Amino acid sequence: QVQLVESGGGLVQAGGSLRLSCVASGRTFSSYIMGWFRQAPGKEREIVADIIPNGSSTYYPDSVKGRFTISRDNAKNTVYLQMSSLKPEDTAVYFCAAQWGSYVIVDTTAYKYWGQGTQVTVSS
């Protein structure tokens, strides 16, 4: 069982930056693929970043590539999402998720463990 707790969301002006954190419980964090997802009102949940257990491979969709950076600290059981050049369309609830494995997974339904989410609001 893995429990995930996100933090770092808030209100920011367009062009600004935020860093989200997600702390995981358990002793096997370094065996999990970690993903960040977001869901805006009336829209489906979508992936924004993904990182494999050793951190050597990441994935970003075109919508955030070059603006968002995912990283992890396995010693602290924490995954981060650094967001910069934020746009109003980035407004959403952001979730972190974990799935046992060793390669990038972009399918939302493939992740077993989810956090409660943290709200990010970008004003224009």
Q: Tens of pLDDT along 59-118?
A: 999 999 999 999 999 999 999 999 999 999 999 999 999 999 988 888 999 999 999 999
For 109, list phi and psi in degrees, rounded to 5.
-70, -10
Percent of the chain with pLDDT over 70: 100
Q: Is the dihedral of CA 86, 90, 107, 32 positive or negative?
A: positive
Distances in Å between the Cα of 10 and the Cα atoms of 6, 18, 19, 20, 118 are 12, 8, 10, 10, 8
> What six digits make up the tokens of 116?
């409660």
The pLDDT-based confidence of 30 (bands split at 50, 70, 90) is very high
